[in-house]
Chain A
């Protein structure tokens, strides 16, 4: 089963911040592959959502970038800035709270789900 893009949309920033916190630097394609691999293909980030969000994170100063030339093309690596590190913590604990609240609200049993 692949999750709907509506479900992913609200958590995309959290996912990106967490991935960059665990991996010192990543580029776009690598991020999509990593997510696919970690979730056994159940979450597939779309390019249409990924890149706009990465640019927004860069503008907010949460990530820094580094350019690498590969022949004629350019690869842009993203890594967390100090501000991004603390934001990543905030986002994660906010999401944990959210999941717990949803558990109560929707009466879910997370062990069997």
Chain B
């Protein structure tokens, strides 16, 4: 029987390592196995290297790495089929919940928030990670794996950004910018420059890159057209200033008619502040008159009643004490929800009260 030398053992081990076998256990197993075969078959004057390569060649179909991959697959993917089922199930379910949630949100029905929350969470934290794990396994090379990873990460960031925006949670702008930056400066370059080099993926790469640029650009535009947080913040502060000016101007001596108008105004304001009464600055910087303002048309009814009361007040004093033109009162009720934000409604109402206080104070002065 031939006896393998230490140099030959090193030669075999190095070749196995170069072939892509990284698991040490597997390296040792294969080394011993090959040595056993060689010792059986090699003659004293035989060509060691030729026999080695012929022997090793029988272990795989195209390259040695297959053994490593098969081992890893068997070790990690015992639950492959279960994972696949969960992935498809969670994907379909989140899509359905998200669609339902969006319809609820559009129609101002209760429960929209919970539906959107559940849909986005299961989409971004269950479906996308599973998609990555399973797709990365099928990826043929490191490039495909990296692109899949980045794309899934981007999907997660954008979904969470949407969730934060819809729920009015702080930090949504940060997430949007992170997502857009990731898309424009990481995913796009990696995807484009690795894909363009191979002739067979060239056309697809160009098309997909154009689409990516388009989508990222649109998102960036959308980010910029949303009123910025600081702008809204300034408007909230300005309303609060008007509010304290009003407090300073209001006296306890006011006509019954004026008291009625003020009561209506306070009702509208508390409706617009809604559940944000405890923290108006934060809530108002994020929101529009939501479900609570237009729910059952209560906000619109109050505005209509205020309109009547103000008109009556003006006609009794034979002058336009409180100007109605260009105010909230003459706004098209259909468009009120889209054009006016919560802060605009508050400001507009406070202005009406300021005119009223001014008129009442003047009236008192002339009566004296």
Interface hits, B1-39 → A, CB 8 Å: 6, 9-10, 23, 25-26, 28-33, 35-37
Contact A59 B31 (CB under 8 A): no
Question: For the complex, is A54 an interface residue (Cβ under 8 Å from B)?
Answer: yes
A27 to chain B: which residues have CB within 8 Å?
A: 32
Question: For the complex, is B291 an interface residue (Cβ under 8 Å from A)?
Answer: no
Interface of A is mostly: helix
Q: Which of B64-72, B102-110, B196-204 contacts A (4 or more CB under 8 A)?
A: B64-72
Contact A70 B32 (CB under 8 A): yes
Closest residue of B by beta carbon distance from A57: B74
Contact B6 A54 (CB under 8 A): no
Contact of B60 among A48, A59, A76 (CB under 8 A): A48
Interface of B is mostly: helix
CA separation between A53 and B29, bound complex, in Å? 12
Interface hits, B215-273 → A, CB 8 Å: none
Q: How many residues of A contact B (CB 8 A)?
A: 22
Counting contact residues on chain B (CB < 8 A from A), the size range is 20 to 34
Question: For the complex, is A99 an interface residue (Cβ under 8 Å from B)?
Answer: no
Contact A59 B75 (CB under 8 A): yes
Question: For the complex, is A74 an interface residue (Cβ under 8 Å from B)?
Answer: yes
> Can you give 24 A-B contacts (C-beta < 8 A)?
A27-B32, A28-B29, A28-B33, A29-B36, A32-B33, A46-B59, A47-B30, A47-B67, A48-B60, A48-B67, A48-B70, A51-B29, A51-B30, A51-B71, A52-B67, A53-B74, A54-B29, A55-B25, A70-B32, A73-B31, A74-B32, A76-B25, A76-B28, A76-B32
Partner-A contacts on B (CB < 8 A): 6, 9-10, 23, 25-26, 28-33, 35-37, 58-61, 66-67, 70-71, 73-75, 78
